[in-house]
Amino acid sequence: MSNHKISAARAGGLLLALGLHLPAGSQGLVAGLADLSLEQLSELPVTSVSGRAESLRNAPASIFVITSEDIRRSAATTLPEALRLAPNLQVARVNSGTYAVSARGFNNPIANKLLVLIDGRTIYSTLFAGVIWDYHDVVLEDVERIEVISGPGGTLWGANAVNGIINVITRSAAATQGTLVSVTRSVDGGQQAVRWGGRLGDAGHLRLYGLNVDRGSTRSLADAELPDASSKRQVGFRADMQFEPGLLTVQGDAFRGGHTPGSRDVPDIHGANLLARWESRFGDGSPYRIQAYYDLQARDETLVLRNRGSSYDVQFTHEPGVPTGQQLLWGAGYRVGRDRNDPSPLVLFIPTERELSWGNVFVQHQWQQARWQFTAGLKAEHNSYTGVEWLPSLRAAYQHSARANTWAAMSRAVRAPSRIDRDFFLPSLPPFIIAGGDGFESEVANVFEVGHRGQQGSNFTYSATLFRQHYSGLRAGRGVPAVVANRIDGHSQGIEAWAQWQPHDAMRLGLGFLGQRKKLHVVDPPADPSSIPNLGNDPDRQWKLRARFDLPGRTELDLHLRRVGALPSPFVPAYTALDARLAWQVTPRVELSLLGQNLLDRRHHEFESAATAAFLARRVYLRMVLHL
């Protein structure tokens, strides 16, 4: 059974210029992007592991935080490129605007075992339970941090948080006051962003932005230009309003790209979302949060995929008061998704339109016993296809000292069926090659992890995690025509490790390594021979080295070297890539930088066989960031 390749969007358009007045005393200057020491980074509060703020050093999970300063001091121009900074993620660029992103394997453009959130909004598609990355551009200067967890998080985040969670957290409106203009250009495209922030009454703040993205085409093995150049325009806002009982946040985005009629490489896409979140306390002082959002995503490729999906989501969480040394968190949520796929010459969904729902309730209890910390949690999640799924987890952490702890975890996670598992037929008329999968059930992972995180002195931090993940009921094709079924079992195991060292105030080095082995087998042969390769194409190892230097004359040099092992099926050779940034702080309000990507070779490809792959060329960008 072959996976569908989702490609980038193309559209013409101009950046929406927000010619608004900058209030006196505005913030958001480069000086406000103060770098944190390694010791301060260890104390950085993270929320994605336990659902409540805790220091990065004490979080009992394999978590890496990409800070706003990391992003600023990189050559990244898109969100997936920023995710390359995390050593526990696999990121491969498929073509001009399409990426494959995963944690702990199973990587492909429709990877479905990684949960991604932007400011608390789950962004996976109801079509295949994964992320269509060309839908989700952000103003990188407005990102506060990205929390990247490798490993399951089903108890808090539900189905599909099987191999990892990416939580993108943007700055509050109060932290982005003033006007920012960011222009990144090369001969192969770039992006422009304008953001304005101002007061909203006496107790609120507002942020507005406009973003234009255009990406140049890639080239084939024969050095022919491929028709995958894309562009998109996007606008959005965020408002944070402080009232006496609590904080109200309202934010939203809208985008449009492509042209009509769309094609596989240049689809017509559009979408919008609107989120509201209320954070307050009950009369006894215990905090709670209510969040609701609406999300629309539409894609028309004319000959292949013609999809429109929308979802409504509401969540409630509460942290009741409990005795000292304990924390209790519970919550509930409900989501409704409507998915419509109009027939195309190549693809048919039966039925054309379906409404799906997910409901959940969870509880998590954490308690301290001397140097030990224990966390037990359970989520019951109901979905339209398989009913109730139980997602338990148990974590234990031992604090050796104020600077080191060891943790272990056992978890059960599932990847619930999506429409592409149950309702997908190829081609759109008989005889079919793929004929649905009405009996497909959830894929299950039982995961065991042990990790250690520590700090030596004030200038060296490290983290290492060993994991083993047992899978049952993974997706495969059965018979002729192929019917989607749960026919693959197996396991993956590996190590994730990284360290940061600051030998001098003007120098910082970071090293990351990921090694993994995956062994899968068909439970009830025969099966479609492409079934196991179609689950994902992963290197058995990769490493990354980052170096940052503060040079004289308000100049910065940043290097990011990565080595990615060969992909087995289809074969993709191993490659080494170097990205670099050279920046000059002209004034406190003006920064100029030269960005280089893939500097070590003329071109290489990162996914798919060479005969059909998009080859990525060396690129150089000029970036200017103005704080007006």
Compute the distance between CA of residue 313 and CA of residue 296 in angstroms, rounded to an integer: 12
- Tell me what pLDDT residue 191 has: 94
CATH architecture assignment, domain 30-627 = Beta Barrel (2.40)
269 confidence band (pLDDT: 50, 70, 90): very high
Report yes or no: 158 and 294 within 8 Å, Cβ to Cβ: no
Compute the distance between CA of residue 178 and CA of residue 175 in angstroms, rounded to an integer: 9
Burial track 325-336 (b if 16+ CB lie within 10 A, e otherwise): eebbbbbbbbbb
Mean pLDDT, rounded, of the chain = 91
- Tell me what pLDDT residue 339 has: 94
Model pLDDT for residues 484-498, shown as the tens digit of each residue = 999 999 999 999 999
Closest CA to 205 of 246, 245, 253, 242: 242
Residue 218 has pLDDT above 60, yes or no: yes
Cis previous bond, 351, omega within 30: yes
34 confidence band (pLDDT: 50, 70, 90): very low
Residue 523 has pLDDT above 80, yes or no: yes
Lowest mean pLDDT among 384-393, 438-447, 526-535: 526-535
Residue 603 has pLDDT above 90, yes or no: yes
Model pLDDT for residues 463-475, shown as the tens digit of each residue = 999 999 999 999 9
Closest CA to 475 of 506, 431, 434, 511: 434
What 8-state DSSP symbol labels residue 282?
A: -
Residue 18 has pLDDT above 80, yes or no: no
Compute the distance between CA of residue 226 and CA of residue 613 in angstroms, rounded to an integer: 10
The residues, ordered by sequence, that sit 6+ positions from 222 with a Cβ below 8 Å of its Cβ are none
Full-model pTM: 0.93
Using left for φ > 0, alpha for ψ between -120 and 50, and beta otherwise, residue 352 falls in: alpha
